[in-house]
Chain A
Amino acid sequence: DQQVKQNSPSLSVQEGRISILNCDYTNSMFDYFLWYKKYPAEGPTFLISISSIKDKNEDGRFTVFLNKSAKHLSLHIVPSQPGDSAVYFCAARNTGTASKLTFGTGTRLQVTL
């Protein structure tokens, strides 16, 4: 039972363009969502998060949008840079579960020159 889904295993975007990574979830008890970025041979690093009481959070080139009615969130990267090439994981926290996170399967982003 995959409660957090990232249906696109990979995405290729030209440098300077917008990258949009999508994530869907099924558990309506999730109250906090995070995006992590992972380079090869490294651990995931926190990128940006959003609470379920908001619909948008922005941090520099990165913006996360949350549509609670559709149980969908997306990460926008504008403009995309070659250093953004990595695997991006969406994660969600379930209210009252000792802050445990449920991760999606990841989307590999490649930013080409």
Chain B
Amino acid sequence: NAGVTQTPKFRILKIGQSMTLQCTQDMNHNYMYWYRQDPGMGLKLIYYSVGAGITDKGEVPNGYNVSRSTTEDFPLRLELAAPSQTSVYFCASSYEGGLAGAKNIQYFGAGTRLSVL
């Protein structure tokens, strides 16, 4: 059981380039999330999805886009990379609904370390 898989693990971009961070989960979770973590800071929510075809903005969505065409995949797109987007990006998933008490335990991928130079 792989859980949440993120690719790539590392990437260096030039200013203005674009890229897609991939995230896939094999736990049949309905909710998925993208966070970024800057040095010395907590995780900040970029975008989240409550199911295939449904996405919404989090706390820091500017400069990013997402899509959710399947339950398993939740890619994050950077269109015009800027130095301020240098960060570690984490994807997470959780199952919401069903048994009482199964409350929002999010499972995280290993992260993508992105540098924009």
Contacts and interface: CB of A to CB of B under 8 A. Distances in A.
Contacts of A93: 103-104
A100 B104 CA distance: 8
A19 interface: no
B50 interface: yes
A41 B111 CA distance: 7
B110 interface: yes
Interface in A19-64: 32, 34, 36, 41-46, 49, 51
Interface in B72-115: 90, 92, 94, 96, 103-111
Interface stretch (B11-19, B39-47, B61-69): B39-47
**How many B residues touch the partner, as a band?**
20 to 34
Interface in B20-71: 31, 33, 35, 40-45, 48, 50, 56, 58
Overall SS of chain B's interface: strand
B42 A34 contact: no
A32 B110 contact: no
A89 B90 CA distance: 14
A66 interface: no
B35 to A, nearest CB: 8
B91 to A, nearest CB: 8
B108 A43 contact: yes
Interface of B: 4, 31, 33, 35, 40-45, 48, 50, 56, 58, 90, 92, 94, 96, 103-111
Q: Which 9 A-B pairs have the closest CB atoms?
A: A43-B108, A103-B42, A99-B104, A103-B43, A105-B42, A46-B105, A44-B108, A43-B110, A43-B109
Interface of A: 4, 9, 32, 34, 36, 41-46, 49, 51, 89, 93, 98-106
Given A43-B111, A46-B107, A99-B104, 16 more contacts: A43-B90, A43-B92, A44-B90, A89-B43, A93-B104, A98-B31, A98-B48, A99-B96, A100-B45, A101-B45, A103-B35, A103-B44, A104-B42, A105-B40, A105-B41, A105-B42
7 contacts: A32-B104, A41-B111, A42-B110, A46-B107, A93-B103, A98-B31, A99-B96
